[in-house]
Amino acid sequence: MQGKAGLWFRRASGVCLLLGAWQLASLFFPPLVVPPIAQVLSTLVRLMTQSDFGATIGTTILRLIAGLAIGVGVGAVLGLLFGLCPKIEDVGTPLIHVLQAIPPVCWVVLALVWFGFNGKPCVFIVATATVPTVVINLSHGVRSVDPQLRHVTLPSIRPYFRSALEIVIGGGWKLAVMGEVLTTNSGIGGAITTARLNIEPDAIIAWSLLLVLGCYLTQRLLRMAFCGKEGVTC
């Protein structure tokens, strides 16, 4: 318990330092540049009590889930194939390198041409960013298994799959919202765009805090799910 208590104390200290720096900066800059913490919290409460708050959050979550489902599904199949068959990996590796190298903003522009301003580009860029991470982690996991133990490949690569999911979920939130900012007026990204047009930095920061919370909660739920299956304490 002392170890866990010390960990939480250090994390709380880091949060306090961050909040202190934020509040200090707000004393030297106008609210349009660095809004005070109290103002952001007030705006956060206002946003959460609006009638369309649930729909805004839900729209982004649905796009995130769709993109992750496609990316993880394709990535898992390719990752297993690459790990089990090096010849298939040789053929598919250039594609994975292309997906890794092209910046997400380029995919956004292409997706706008292919799908239009309807939210589908958000799903597309989350999926394209997810595939390489899952492929690389799973293929490495498969190759790390002793060939004589290939009948237990799936249980053996669970840690690699978990690591890939933690990475893509964290990045997926950011990519989904970025896609919404650039391609639609709905979801959290649409709300951030509206706040930008209205010059409301407090609202932008408030939505950003909600994104941080959403990312933390989903990654925490993922860890709890995997830890439960692995029989260890998170």
pLDDT in tens, the chain (234 residues): 456 777 788 888 888 998 889 889 888 888 888 899 999 999 999 999 999 999 999 999 999 999 999 999 999 999 989 988 888 888 988 989 888 888 888 888 898 889 888 888 899 999 999 999 999 999 888 888 766 665 556 677 888 888 888 889 988 999 999 989 988 888 999 999 999 999 999 999 999 999 999 998 998 888 887 776 555 555
The helix/strand count (H/E) of the chain reads as 10, 0
> Residue type for 140, please?
H
Q: Is 170 left (phi over 0), alpha (psi -120 to 50) or beta?
A: alpha
Give the span between the Cα atoms of 78 and 26, in whole angstroms.
49
Burial of 141 (0-12, 13-18, 19+ CB in 10 A): buried
Kind plus residue range of the DSSP H or E element containing 6? helix 2-28
**pLDDT at residue 86, as a whole number:** 86
DSSP-derived secondary structure for 142-163: HHHS-GGGGGGHHHHTHHHHHH
Q: Are 187 and 60 in contact (CB under 8 A)?
A: yes
> Residue type for 169, please?
I
**pLDDT at residue 222, as a whole number:** 84
**pLDDT at residue 162, as a whole number:** 86
**pLDDT at residue 55, as a whole number:** 93
Q: Are 74 and 129 in contact (CB under 8 A)?
A: no
Structure tokens, 142: 């498969």
